[in-house]
Amino acid sequence: MAKDANQSDEGIRWALVVDLDRCTGCQACVVACHAENNLQIVGEKEAAYGRWTHWIIIHRYWEGEYPNVKARFMPIMCQQCSEAPCEPVCPVFATYHNEEGLNAQIYNRCIGTRFCGSACPYKARVYNWFRPEFPEPLTEQLNPDVSVRTRGIMEKCTFCIQRIRRVEIDAQAEGRSPTDGEIQPACVQTCPTSALIFGDLNDPNSHVSQLAHSRRSFRLLPELGTDPGVIYLKGGEVNV
Amino acid sequence: MSEVQPTQPEQDNHPDQMPEFEERLLLAERKDWEINEAVLQPMFKTGRGFWILVAILSAIVLWGFYAWGYLIYWGMGTAGINRPVYWGLFITTFVFWVGISHAGTMISAVLRLLKADWRRPITRGAEAMTAFALMMAGLYPLIHLGRVWKFYWMIPYPNNRFMWPNFQSPLMWDMVAIFTYLIGSSLYLYLALIPDMAMARDYTEGWRYKLYRVLALGWRGTEAEWHKLHRALGIFSVAIIPIFLSVHSIVSWDFAVTIQPRWHSTIFAPYFVIGAVYSGLSALASILIIVRRSMRLQEFLRSEHFDSLGKLVMVAGMAWVYFWFAGFIVEWYGNEPIVRELIHEEVSGPLAPFFYLQMGANIIPIILLVFKRVRTTPVLLLGTTLLVNVGMFTERALIVIGSLQRNDLPFNWGTYRPSWVEISIVAMTFAGFALLYTLFSRIIPFVPVWEIKEGRLRYTLRRIGRLLVPTAAEIE
């Protein structure tokens, strides 16, 4: 999976910046993601057994010894890797790389081997263990732009590809390209502390690419060579 | 043990070895029709015990099918798997059954090429074990699919969307390897069966006669037919060995190609192959002991065969320990954080009972099998070889489930508990294997009669002066 034409420095590569110094671990992004992407609610018992369906998981780590304990929050979603470990292992091409640097998942094609889930070092993929149930009147608030998945398939963060597409189509109709910051995934729109910033990493003037070159930036598990499209910022000392 | 030194028994009159020669010579003295009868008679005797066994096994299989239906209807959530343990008991048992399937070819093809004479009476049982174990293994890639009704998307068939399966995926290699091995080993089993089918045809009537007549393909036993059979078996023996090596290598690559800690290992392919041979040979020994007793085949499956088989199991066990150690020591010294965590959990953490069960159940049999008494006493050998497979199953569970519980980000760590659905389906494949094997032993001659008759030609009694001396000749 070397860098091919799809992943060159030309064209678009969507990226998300997560500023850990600003994250308060409030989980608003998780709720927004659930509403936007028709994620099922599995209930307390199933979630405790590791079967939640959040596309964003706020990792919470404790630092230090009592009484000087600090909580660290780390929102982890699909890292949209350029060298994604999940892609080559799928037997039916249900997950593949699209031309905008996104690691796309085709729900209809997935047969549920869960190989991608085992291969993903971030465990950012979630599985539909049972048929999703949306009791009335919740069905009225399902997002019509996103398919409701069935049981037995994998799903994961898409960077709200439906929002990306909508802005792109509108911009194309007006004969221009999307401006920086025009596209906002649900989590970015919701984050109360603006800890999440979305944009094109290949555009040197975008907010995202400038932050990516800041001294505070790092990628998750860089030693694995997955080249993630999610960039974390961490530098200042924050006590929570 | 195939070499017989003519003067030895007379000179040191060893109490252990004399009965072996006597038994072998007894067989040499038997008429052809007596051997045919001795093999065919137990097949026709289906007493009450046999039908009770069949009923129990069928009940377990039916219950397993109910559990599978339940799994398909309600979803994968009825199994105990979760995030991060996406693969659980199903994949563990899949690896186990593929492992069991390895001994058939090992015994049959490798020993046929090496002209090891002791293989003769046990080849058929070994080949049948390969075929049935592969059938059971082949169920798991279907069972563990979230949407099993779409399984055919993994098959490269022409379609109007030009969608092709992804041949980069080890699951595709798996499918190709298992199909190839199943077809190859079934043909190999059947080829060696043809002369015996003809023999059975000539001794039976009724539905059995009709069945054997079809299966015998009009075999008459002419010189040209034997020549062709030997050539075909020779070609198959050579051709099936690369397949036999590749199948378990590919199964190991399901794990090794990922970057999951403890899976991402270069030694996995040979380690899995040798583990498969170890567990497969042990399972073969266990099965042969049970069948020998239930079908009264003591005359054909003698202690010399179990002695040789026991030695082979011991050697495979030593090789398994070597490969395990070669992998473990590198990971121990590598000391990567998550691998270190996993090793600590195995050696002194929550996985310790399974780790010590794995090591104990795999190493103690090697020590036991050093003693000839263990190798030649059926009860002791049965216990020893069953212990090996307990150890090998635990080893697979530790690799699949144990490793998946831990990964690079500690917040993602999890635990796994198997559900009743998983346990029922695993029990279904064990019962299904036993059921197929039980029915097989009453329909197909369990001992390859023509191979025994062929091997019998090796041994003759010669009179030197007043002394009767057993001699062995080199034959094809």
Residues B343-375 have pLDDT tens digits of: 999 999 999 999 999 999 999 999 999 999 999
Residues of A within 8 A of B151 (CB-CB) are 111
B473 in contact with A, Cβ within 8 Å: no
pLDDT of A84 higher than 80: yes
Would you call A130 and B74 a contact, using CB atoms and an 8 Å cutoff? yes
Residue of A nearest to B76 (CA): A129
Residues A25-83 have pLDDT tens digits of: 999 999 999 999 999 999 899 999 999 999 999 999 998 888 888 888 999 999 999 99
* CA neighbor of A75 nearest in space, from A14, A20, A156: A20
Phi, psi of A71 (to 5 degrees): -95, 135
Residues B80-91 have pLDDT tens digits of: 999 999 999 999
pLDDT of B5 higher than 60: no
Would you call B171 and A89 a contact, using CB atoms and an 8 Å cutoff? yes
Q: Which domain holds residue B384?
A: 37-472
Among B73, B169, B263, B400, the residue to mutate for chain A (most A Cβ within 10 A): B169
Residue of B nearest to A114 (CA): B86
pLDDT at B22: 57
Residue of A nearest to B409 (CA): A122
- Mind telling me how many Å the CA of B400 is from chain A's nearest CA? 10
Cα→Cα distances B197→B34, B109, B383, B449, Å: 17, 21, 34, 10
B147 in contact with A, Cβ within 8 Å: yes
Would you call B411 and A60 a contact, using CB atoms and an 8 Å cutoff? yes
Residues B280-300 have pLDDT tens digits of: 999 999 999 999 888 888 878
- Mind telling me how many Å the CA of A132 is from chain B's nearest CA? 10
Would you call B74 and A46 a contact, using CB atoms and an 8 Å cutoff? no
Nearest to B171 among A50, A91, A121 (CB): A91
In a domain, B12, yes or no: no
Domains belonging to chain A, first-starting first, are 10-233 (3.30.70.20)
All residues at 6 or more sequence positions from B303 whose CB lies less than 8 Å from its CB, including other chains = B19, B20, B376
Q: Could you count the other beta carbons within 10 Å of the beta carbon of residue B78?
A: 18
In the block, tokens 């999951």 appear at B260
pLDDT at B474: 61
Would you call B87 and A114 a contact, using CB atoms and an 8 Å cutoff? yes
Would you call B144 and A49 a contact, using CB atoms and an 8 Å cutoff? no
pLDDT of A163 higher than 80: yes
In the block, tokens 């069960």 appear at B357
- Mind telling me how many Å the CA of A110 is from chain B's nearest CA? 8
pLDDT of A239 higher than 60: no
Would you call B166 and A93 a contact, using CB atoms and an 8 Å cutoff? yes
Q: Are A121 and B408 in contact (CB under 8 A)?
A: yes
pLDDT at B12: 44
Residue of B nearest to A109 (CA): B153
Would you call B172 and A118 a contact, using CB atoms and an 8 Å cutoff? no
Residue of A nearest to B175 (CA): A91
Assign residue B177 the CATH number of its domain: 1.20.1630.10
Q: Where are the alpha helices (DSSP H) in B4-88?
A: 8-12, 18-29, 32-44, 48-74
* CA neighbor of B3 nearest in space, from B20, B26, B27: B20
Q: What is the mean pLDDT of residues A214-233?
A: 92
Residues B198-209 have pLDDT tens digits of: 988 888 888 889
pLDDT of B105 higher than 90: no
pLDDT of B273 higher than 70: yes
Residues B6-43 have pLDDT tens digits of: 444 444 444 444 455 556 656 666 777 888 888 888 88
In a domain, B391, yes or no: yes
B169 in contact with A, Cβ within 8 Å: yes
Number of domains in chain B: 1
Would you call A119 and B258 a contact, using CB atoms and an 8 Å cutoff? yes
All residues at 6 or more sequence positions from B44 whose CB lies less than 8 Å from its CB, including other chains = none
B170 in contact with A, Cβ within 8 Å: yes
pTM of this prediction?
0.91
In a domain, B5, yes or no: no
Residues B215-247 have pLDDT tens digits of: 999 898 899 999 999 999 989 889 988 998 999
Nearest to B75 among A52, A109, A130 (CB): A130
Would you call B153 and A117 a contact, using CB atoms and an 8 Å cutoff? no
Among A59, A118, A127, the residue to mutate for chain B (most B Cβ within 10 A): A118
pLDDT at B20: 55
Return the amino acid letter for A97.
H
Sheet holding A14-19, edge to edge: A196-200, A14-19, A230-233, A217-218
Residues of A within 8 A of B404 (CB-CB) are 118
Nearest to B166 among A91, A110, A151 (CB): A91
Among B70, B258, B264, the residue to mutate for chain A (most A Cβ within 10 A): B258
